[in-house]
Amino acid sequence: MPHLPRNPRRRDIIRFARECGWSIEPAGSEQLKATRPGYVCVPIPGHNDNTRIPVGTANAVAKQLLYPLRQDQVIRDLRSQVVELEQHLTNISQDRDRLALQQQKDEQLARLEKAEEDQQVYEELLLELEERNNTLKHWFGKRTKKLRQQLQEAKQQLHKARRQAASALKNLQRVTAEKRMVDAELKLILAALEQVEVVVEQAATQQARGGDTDHLLQTLLGRLQHILEIKELDA
């Protein structure tokens, strides 16, 4: 694994980067950068090859430059572990196959014995199912007939209910219209009565002052006649 000297200069970092598999390219002015396909470029500190680089900065750059190598090492270790696991699984599989063959022989004998027992049970169940099937067919026929009758009755009741609902709706519409007319007439009567009250008050005031109340009485009679006409129209 590449390493840096104790007091690194820029040329040491450049050498370190190349040993790690990076390419050195210009980065503008006197700056340089390390590039590698598939990775982000790493800036190289310093303005010339003899520039001393602080240890902390040099270690940080070295860590970035070592990342691909460490990643490759991790991948190699993982691949080695995968190979070992595959071999281990192969050994386990071989042992399992030998045990499986013996188990299959024992299981086949047990299955054969159980199959003979099951066949007898299935034959008995088949007879029982045939009897139940005949019973269910008879019950289902009766039940279907009854349900059809109930459905027909329900349709008739629904038709009757719809007719009743339509009739009730018409009656409601008629009553609503009549109520609107009565409300309008009541408003007219109330307005006329209010005017009559005003005329009565004016007549009382005029009479108290000793004035002529004939004109006010004529107005009052006109208002009352208007109210009577409204009532006659209502009748």
Amino acid symbol at 6: R
Q: Higher model confidence: residue 13 or residue 118?
A: 13
The CA-CA-CA angle for residues 209, 220, 207, to 5°, reads 10
Tokens, residue 109: 């004998």
Handedness of CA 32, 36, 38, 39 (dihedral sign): negative
Q: Is 210 left (phi over 0), alpha (psi -120 to 50) or beta?
A: left
With a cut of 80, say whether residue 199 has pLDDT above it.
Answer: no
pLDDT class of 8 with cuts at 50, 70, 90 = very high
CA dihedral 220, 226, 230, 235 (to 10 degrees): 90
User: Distance (Å, rounded) from C-alpha 115 to C-alpha 121?
Assistant: 10
With a cut of 80, say whether residue 213 has pLDDT above it.
Answer: no
pLDDT at 211: 63
- The share of the chain scoring above pLDDT 90, in percent, equals 35
| Biggest distance spanned by C-alpha atoms of the chain | 137
pLDDT at 180: 92
Tokens, residue 193: 């009565």
Amino acid symbol at 167: S
In the chain, which ranges are continuous DSSP H helix?
A: 10-19, 55-208, 214-234
Across 18-27, 91-100, 110-119, 139-148, the highest mean pLDDT is recorded for: 18-27
pLDDT class of 45 with cuts at 50, 70, 90 = very high
The predicted-structure confidence for 158-197, as pLDDT tens digits, reads as follows: 989 899 988 989 999 998 988 998 888 788 778 777 877 7
What is the residue-averaged pLDDT of the chain? 85
pLDDT at 117: 84
pLDDT class of 112 with cuts at 50, 70, 90 = confident
Per mean pLDDT, which range of 121-130, 185-194, 223-232 is the poorest?
223-232
**Closest alpha carbon to 57 in 1, 9, 3, 2:** 9
pLDDT class of 17 with cuts at 50, 70, 90 = very high
Q: Is 165 left (phi over 0), alpha (psi -120 to 50) or beta?
A: alpha
User: Distance (Å, rounded) from C-alpha 122 to C-alpha 114?
Assistant: 12
With a cut of 60, say whether residue 231 has pLDDT above it.
Answer: no
Q: Which residues contact 104 (CB under 8 A, 6 or more apart)?
A: none
Q: Which residue carries 């002052």 as its tokens?
A: 209
Per mean pLDDT, which range of 49-53, 78-82, 112-116, 164-168 is the poorest?
112-116
pLDDT at 19: 94
Mean pLDDT of 208-233: 70
Q: Could you tell me if 12 and 4 are in contact, meaning their C-beta atoms sit under 8 angstroms apart?
A: yes
